Amino acid sequence: MLICSFLTISQYAVSKSYFVWPFTWLILGETSTPFVGIRWLLAVSGNKESKLYFYNGVLLLGTFFLFRGILYGHGLYDMFKNYSIWGDVAALNMVAFGLTLAYGLNLIWLTRIIAGVRRSLMKKAKPQ
């Protein structure tokens, strides 16, 4: 179902040339999603102290920072830089507003992920 949805939406976006670049940076932002799922799975199975949990957290931080922090921010900047091209379409203004709010949420989540990795590093630094 998820793959079918992705293929349908991506084909439509590319074939109709609707927000192709925003679609690209938004879908790349989902690169961090598997690490969130793995983290949850490890946590509920009682493996919070494992090396896999720690390294998964580092990968989550790296992908989240790169794709949802840096690339998403660059995409928003580029989108608003080209406002004159799409700004007259009211529906696209609402989309841009929603994307901006989502970026704010991503930044909040990023600070929480950083705090979690810091806590994990502090635990490892303490002598046993």
- Which pLDDT score, from 0 to 100, does residue 14 have? 67
- Which pLDDT score, from 0 to 100, does residue 99 have? 93
Token pair in block for residue 111: 């600070």
Token pair in block for residue 116: 């979690």
Is residue 75 within 8 A of residue 95, CB to CB? The reply is no
Name which of 79, 85, 35, 41 is nearest 61 in CA terms: 35
pLDDT in tens, the chain (128 residues): 567 766 776 776 667 666 778 888 888 898 999 999 999 999 999 999 899 999 999 999 999 999 999 999 999 999 889 888 877 878 788 888 999 999 999 999 999 999 988 988 888 777 66
Q: Which amino acid is at 83?
A: Y
Residue that is written with structure tokens 């919070």 in the block: 48
pTM of the entire structure? 0.80
Name which of 57, 59, 42 is nearest 119 in CA terms: 57
